Amino acid sequence: MMFASDNAGPAAPELMQAVIAANEGPSMPYGNDPLTASVRARVREIFEAPSAEVFLVATGTAANALALGALVEPWQTVFCHRNAHIEEDECGAPEFYTGGAKLTLLEGDHAKIDPAGFARALTFTARAGVHNVQKGALSITQATELGAVYTPAEVRALADIARAEGLPVHMDGTRFSNAVARLGCTPAELTWKAGVDVLCLGASKCGAMAAEAVIFFDADEAKTWEFQLRRKRGGHLFSKMRYVAAQMDRWLADGLWLDLAGRANAAADRLAAGLGEGNLATLLHPVDANALFASLPRSAHQRLHGAGAKYYLWPFDQPLEGPGDEMLSCRLVCNWATSQAEVDAFLAAARG
Amino acid sequence: MMFASDNAGPAAPELMQAVIAANEGPSMPYGNDPLTASVRARVREIFEAPSAEVFLVATGTAANALALGALVEPWQTVFCHRNAHIEEDECGAPEFYTGGAKLTLLEGDHAKIDPAGFARALTFTARAGVHNVQKGALSITQATELGAVYTPAEVRALADIARAEGLPVHMDGTRFSNAVARLGCTPAELTWKAGVDVLCLGASKCGAMAAEAVIFFDADEAKTWEFQLRRKRGGHLFSKMRYVAAQMDRWLADGLWLDLAGRANAAADRLAAGLGEGNLATLLHPVDANALFASLPRSAHQRLHGAGAKYYLWPFDQPLEGPGDEMLSCRLVCNWATSQAEVDAFLAAARG
Amino acid sequence: MMFASDNAGPAAPELMQAVIAANEGPSMPYGNDPLTASVRARVREIFEAPSAEVFLVATGTAANALALGALVEPWQTVFCHRNAHIEEDECGAPEFYTGGAKLTLLEGDHAKIDPAGFARALTFTARAGVHNVQKGALSITQATELGAVYTPAEVRALADIARAEGLPVHMDGTRFSNAVARLGCTPAELTWKAGVDVLCLGASKCGAMAAEAVIFFDADEAKTWEFQLRRKRGGHLFSKMRYVAAQMDRWLADGLWLDLAGRANAAADRLAAGLGEGNLATLLHPVDANALFASLPRSAHQRLHGAGAKYYLWPFDQPLEGPGDEMLSCRLVCNWATSQAEVDAFLAAARG
Amino acid sequence: MMFASDNAGPAAPELMQAVIAANEGPSMPYGNDPLTASVRARVREIFEAPSAEVFLVATGTAANALALGALVEPWQTVFCHRNAHIEEDECGAPEFYTGGAKLTLLEGDHAKIDPAGFARALTFTARAGVHNVQKGALSITQATELGAVYTPAEVRALADIARAEGLPVHMDGTRFSNAVARLGCTPAELTWKAGVDVLCLGASKCGAMAAEAVIFFDADEAKTWEFQLRRKRGGHLFSKMRYVAAQMDRWLADGLWLDLAGRANAAADRLAAGLGEGNLATLLHPVDANALFASLPRSAHQRLHGAGAKYYLWPFDQPLEGPGDEMLSCRLVCNWATSQAEVDAFLAAARG
């Protein structure tokens, strides 16, 4: 019963086989290998973006921070939701890679940025003279840290505001596959067609060991060369790139990435439905992707912990032990390998 | 005939099997897994360093730059050889991770630091007042970028000078395994017993897909916690750490790391011996590890390239095409999988 | 009628004379001069802090950013008010000098930090593991950007919370002199006795051309040496320090600093009183120091602009021209040289 | 007998009077004042550069580091002489302001860069792929740290090499006035006409209290706006700019800057001539500007120290006390206020 994080799940066997297959004989290092080229071709096809440039790294934090470093100057600010991963969970990596840019924190339900609030923040920052940090970029997390998903129209609404100010749009797509699998739209509709300039496409949380693609939909050569220098300078250029590429290549082949994401989403749906029966729990956010945020009575949490379920009370500082049986909120994350049996065992333990 | 880099070699099958084995079921992320714990235990045992702390990353540049970031302040300088990887091949990663420290370049044959020159450089820097960059750390590359190896006594000679000034000693051990395999000394003798404070132990060039260990032999808790924050902030904390750990764990088990390194060294020896026969080539540096630097006639290089041999003229800017048959220098790197047949084919092509 | 900023005021003639006097003959550079030593002695005496260390720079932004750089690590955050100068008006200088630390923005009336909100923010940040930016320091602005002043008890209430978490306390004292002149307490009571570790004491806005002192009340030698390196590295170590020192030395002598600040405060009081008569304006914040924030009818603003009064509508983006006569808010800042006649002329123009 | 540094000299009375005059009444802050505008106009006229942009700061280190920050990226390198002030005496300020760029050290007599060596260094760096720090800019120090001066032809020779590689050319003109005064050429001939893109023009060492101008001869608006943000972010934007501007404005008026520089040069000439008489000393470098480097017998140094002469043995670590009477080298710097009497007293003391 592992619901602590999608990071806790295994890699998909198809990807492991691809890595084994990639291990035959020598191969030129640093991305000068056929698998890296294949990933580029797949991304261009899947995203209907023939001039997209694609760079591989191995962690989502590296992808986000390197992308933001390429988009903003040190004296600029990145507009993002208060709960964005880049704000809350990367130990300041965006600040490090941008050379000290700010993050301007926006509000919005379910960790989705409220467009009106974004527009207001831009107006306020618009006064910016030489004393002020300048407007830099917009960063959207898809799916959000609270398990919600932006529709293409919602992405476009935000991107339009950004672009009207000349700001590039970054998408933290750590769980982009979950969003596409849920929405049923095309990857292009959810990204460049909606105004996204750079997508960090994450496979690590959904079937890979460690593979992330930074996709520039329409960058010039100088910009992508600069990105490559930043990647190397950050220590994120893999000598034996073929093993990262093999994962991403297989993940993107034959729709496997959406299949895996769909499985995680389905497990979350089953869990949500089960928690909803008999008012076992209150769902705190829409279950658009593979994560649930729910409130359960303390007694239910105690039973679950006793039964060995792994997940986090959210926020962390709620005491599992205590006199009353009040509701405590928690985060439950499914991954591609979460089984129906695992979900059902969780529900049974919660019910007691 | 792949002699371009040890990076071009495959991963050892034992490590691939270990990665597959690590993929069973869920596992807590970010290094809170049994394999990461096992790596720590192995390092402590192999290095006879029960209080060593061990942190895993996936590239040698990340390992070096993070380690140096932990050792020096932005206003300090790292003493290293002019040909060190941290100076020549990391696109300024040490400057990035240290927040802008300098590298003071030292001389010495075969890319080994000359102790007298190091002492002189310290004397010169000793005048350092508030206007001057301050002394920060010593960095030793083992084996060197020119294929030479420091003996324990040579390491100690340099480390003693550094320590007399209060400077910590970093070892870039990308090819540390090749050095130990050659010298036959213990890992401890070549590191902390000789005065090394932090070792970046590389497996990526010698049998792993991507696995590097940063080993602090005697750091306090504040320092190693800071290192972990730096690692996360740099985007180098892997969520699914088990796959990196699995490689390093297997590499260190049962002496495999030295076995693999020994194979690469033996291939280099065979190549060196063959090149020496009949004065086919002039060796430019001692062949202490797995790399050779040799001069061959242009005609030999042309034959080799025609036969499909992969390697670099060194320096790069020598023209392969040209009227005369002058000697052109090159770098030839063997890896653990370089076969005798491959070496012999190379020699045959060189002879014509 | 200059009310745009206290920066717009002249330097006090006493300070100009001191600078002229300092220009006699040669003097050792970089602070190795008698005037710099005299400043240190004066600060120690005035602040009853015999072990305080004092470093001079020439801008308030430099003072704040260098001080914060010395107090926090790149992966930490500075708690400050949302309206603090370090957040709003330094173009990211704190981020630059800290190597990319965050600022965590707190709320509170009149730009004074609400202690309960600070405590809550600390609790939230308390969960900080390796993924999170760590708690770094508290920064208090005295007087605030909205013209309010913290009492010694209010400073202590905030500092106690910070210190309970092990956080150092920084005070942006650009208008510290105005606060002391208003409160009538001792400088020590408002700083180290209330828990402040580092004070940036500004003279530039109150009678100097350009002189700011960074005062460490109880720093060890390593810390203050590091600060000196940071100052030099930031380009803020003046070769001809005597001219900066001469200003600060004279400013601190014979209570001149409090005299000048008191004059600015008195001008603000007179202006506030005048605006209060006949409900000419609504004061938006307490007038504790030398700045007023007030709402006046658009017609009054138009008259004032017509009469040549210099000040800013606050926020900037309110249109001076418009159909109705609604209230527009503005900022009015007095300086030590603001005359009664200037205030009275302003009031007369406002009344029309 | 002050020969320790030109920094030790006083400010010229004309500049002090200008500062006093600038103190009349209020003035808009941050450079929005008439004196700052006047400086811009004077620079444009004196340098025959009607589109030049001019920004004032107060220290030479700030000027150099901010200018280099605007010219190079963090992953690039600045080519400069091994003895350049930016390498030896700024505590890593260039590294700080560039975000971690390197300095590639070049050789050449009298701290003048040897063009052939520069060309070689570029060739070597030309191989630069993604692993390598990229070529960034050339920095020339005029006059050099060893008192020599580049002719316009020498500047052009270096700049031509740089420009052929697309590199911008920075000139550290801390003692540019001394060079122009010596050469008798026009300021334009020694800068933009010879290929210089950015000049840091220093007045602080030659008659000002603290005033330096960063001059972009042909920068676009985006670049100079960025420079202004960098200056503010570095804490180098003065609120009361008029006082810095007043100094620079007066310095540049009526040829005063060249008059003052000429006086310092003449004092150095007199000193050199005197030391040459009777082989009292050996001059180590040409005396092109206001500094001498000379070897004198230890006994002469002892007499001079006894007589109260202030100067540095150069390098610092030569022992003034010792058994023999060997030659010890020293640096002697004259400033605009160095009198003939002072020089003659020095000579007399040296002679004994």
Which of A95, A131, A316 shows the shortest C-beta gap to C91?
A131
- CB atoms under 10 Å from CB of A209, counted, come to 28
Question: Neighbours of C (≥3 Cβ pairs closer than 8 A)?
Answer: A, B, D
Min Cα distance B133 → chain C (Å) is: 9
Task: List beta partners, residue B138.
Answer: B79, B169
In this structure, of A167-171, A247-251, B11-15, C276-280, the range with the lowest mean pLDDT score is: C276-280
The residue among D63, B115, C95, C30 whose CA lies nearest residue A102 is: C95
Secondary structure letter of residue B310 according to DSSP: B
Minimum Cα–Cα distance from D130: chain B residue: B91
Whether C266 and C236 map to the same domain: the answer is: no
Min Cα distance C229 → chain B (Å) is: 6
Residues on chain A touching D222 (C-beta within 8 angstroms): none
Which of D89, D92, D132 shows the shortest C-beta gap to B100?
D92
Question: Neighbours of D (≥3 Cβ pairs closer than 8 A)?
Answer: A, B, C
Which of D19, D91, D243 shows the shortest C-beta gap to C229?
D91
pLDDT at A25 over 70: yes
Residue where one domain finishes, among candidates B254, B280, B295? B254
Q: Residue C128's pLDDT is what?
A: 63
Burial environment of residue B50 by CB neighbours within 10 A (0 to 12, 13 to 18, 19 or more) = exposed
Whether A221 and A321 map to the same domain: the answer is: no
Min Cα distance C78 → chain B (Å) is: 17
In a domain, C162, yes or no: yes
Cross-chain Cβ contact B131/C232 below 8 Å: yes
Cross-chain Cβ contact C229/B134 below 8 Å: yes
Q: Residue B279's pLDDT is what?
A: 85
In a domain, A2, yes or no: no
Residues on chain C touching D62 (C-beta within 8 angstroms): 234-236
User: Given CB atoms, is B241 within the 8 Å cutoff of chain A?
Assistant: no
The residue among D68, D71, D54 whose CA lies nearest residue D97 is: D68
Q: Residue C123's pLDDT is what?
A: 86
Cross-chain Cβ contact C91/A123 below 8 Å: no
Q: What average pLDDT does the segment A296-307 reach?
A: 96
ipTM value for the complex: 0.97
In a domain, A92, yes or no: yes
Which of D2, D90, D204 shows the shortest C-beta gap to C240?
D204
- Between CA C35 and CA C160 the distance in angstroms is 35
D318 falls in which pLDDT band (50, 70, 90)? confident
Q: What average pLDDT does the segment D138-150 reach?
A: 98
Whether A220 and A197 map to the same domain: the answer is: yes
- Between CA D272 and CA D261 the distance in angstroms is 16
Q: What average pLDDT does the segment B155-174 reach?
A: 98
Say how many CB pairs under 8 Å bridge B and D.
67
Q: Are D98 and D104 in contact (CB under 8 A)?
A: no
Q: Residue A126's pLDDT is what?
A: 56
Which of A4, A16, A234 shows the shortest C-beta gap to B96?
A234
Say how many CB pairs under 8 Å bridge A and D.
30
Say how many CB pairs under 8 Å bridge B and C.
31
3-class DSSP assignment, residue C106: strand
For residue C78, the domain's CATH number is 3.40.640.10
Residues on chain C touching B230 (C-beta within 8 angstroms): 75
C182 falls in which pLDDT band (50, 70, 90)? very high
Whether D278 and D301 map to the same domain: the answer is: yes
Residue D86 sits at the vertex; the CA angle it makes with D84 and D91, to the nearest 5 degrees, is 125
- Between CA C93 and CA D231 the distance in angstroms is 10
Cross-chain Cβ contact B229/C130 below 8 Å: yes
B81 falls in which pLDDT band (50, 70, 90)? very high
User: Given CB atoms, is A126 within the 8 Å cutoff of chain C?
Assistant: yes
- Between CA B29 and CA A38 the distance in angstroms is 29
Cross-chain Cβ contact C131/A102 below 8 Å: no
In a domain, C6, yes or no: no
A73 falls in which pLDDT band (50, 70, 90)? very high
Whether D207 and D172 map to the same domain: the answer is: yes
Whether C237 and C143 map to the same domain: the answer is: yes
Whether A244 and A302 map to the same domain: the answer is: no
Which of C74, C130, C229 shows the shortest C-beta gap to B130?
C229
In a domain, B332, yes or no: yes
Residues on chain B touching D123 (C-beta within 8 angstroms): 317
In a domain, B5, yes or no: no
Q: Are C82 and C235 in contact (CB under 8 A)?
A: no
Task: List beta partners, residue D310.
Answer: D2
Q: What is the pLDDT of residues D280-315, one digit of tens each?
A: 899 999 999 999 999 999 999 999 999 999 999 998
D26 falls in which pLDDT band (50, 70, 90)? confident
Min Cα distance C69 → chain B (Å) is: 12
C126 falls in which pLDDT band (50, 70, 90)? low
- Residues 6 or more apart whose Cβ sits within 8 Å of residue A215: A43, A47, A49, A52, A53, A54, A191, A198, A199, A200, A201
For residue D273, the domain's CATH number is 3.90.1150.10
Q: What is the pLDDT of residues C60-114, one digit of tens each?
A: 999 999 999 999 999 999 999 999 999 999 999 999 999 999 999 999 999 999 9
Tally the domains of chain C.
2
Secondary structure letter of residue B255 according to DSSP: G
Residue where one domain finishes, among candidates D254, D284, D306? D254
Average pLDDT, chain A: 96
Residues on chain D touching A99 (C-beta within 8 angstroms): 74, 99
Residues on chain D touching A31 (C-beta within 8 angstroms): none
Q: What is the pLDDT of residues B173-209, one digit of tens each?
A: 999 999 999 999 999 999 999 999 999 999 999 999 9
In a domain, D316, yes or no: yes
| Tokens found for residue B126 | 């000793």
Whether A201 and A264 map to the same domain: the answer is: no
Which of A89, A96, A105 shows the shortest C-beta gap to C132?
A89
pLDDT at A258 over 70: yes
Q: How many helices (H) and strands (E) does chain B have?
A: 13, 11
In this structure, of A154-158, A310-314, D125-129, D158-162, the range with the lowest mean pLDDT score is: D125-129
Side-chain-facing half-sphere of A288: CA atoms under 13 Å: 22
Whether D221 and D292 map to the same domain: the answer is: no
Cross-chain Cβ contact A226/D131 below 8 Å: no
State the residue range of the domain holding A69. Answer: 12-254
pLDDT at A124 over 90: no
Q: What is the pLDDT of residues C254-297, one digit of tens each?
A: 999 999 999 999 999 999 999 999 888 999 999 999 999 999 99
Min Cα distance D107 → chain B (Å) is: 14
- Between CA D249 and CA D231 the distance in angstroms is 20
| Helix pair B60-71, B221-233: axis angle to 10 deg | 130
Mutate to test the interface with B, among D102, D123, D125 (most CBs of B within 10 A): D102
Which of D95, D127, D130 shows the shortest C-beta gap to B102?
D95
Whether A306 and A195 map to the same domain: the answer is: no
pLDDT at B127 over 80: no
- Residues 6 or more apart whose Cβ sits within 8 Å of residue D348: none
Whether C198 and C339 map to the same domain: the answer is: no
DSSP secondary structure letters along D224-235:
HHHHHHHHHHTT
Q: What is the pLDDT of residues A75-93, one digit of tens each?
A: 999 999 999 999 999 999 9
- Residues 6 or more apart whose Cβ sits within 8 Å of residue C134: B229, C73, C75, C76, C77, C125, C128
CA gyration radius, chain A: 21
Min Cα distance A184 → chain C (Å) is: 32
Residue where one domain finishes, among candidates A227, A254, A281? A254
Secondary structure letter of residue A55 according to DSSP: E
Whether C188 and C312 map to the same domain: the answer is: no
A303 falls in which pLDDT band (50, 70, 90)? very high
Cross-chain Cβ contact C243/D11 below 8 Å: yes
DSSP E strands: which ranges in chain C?
Answer: 53-57, 76-81, 102-106, 134-141, 169-173, 198-202, 212-216, 282-283, 291-297, 312-313, 327-333
In a domain, B6, yes or no: no
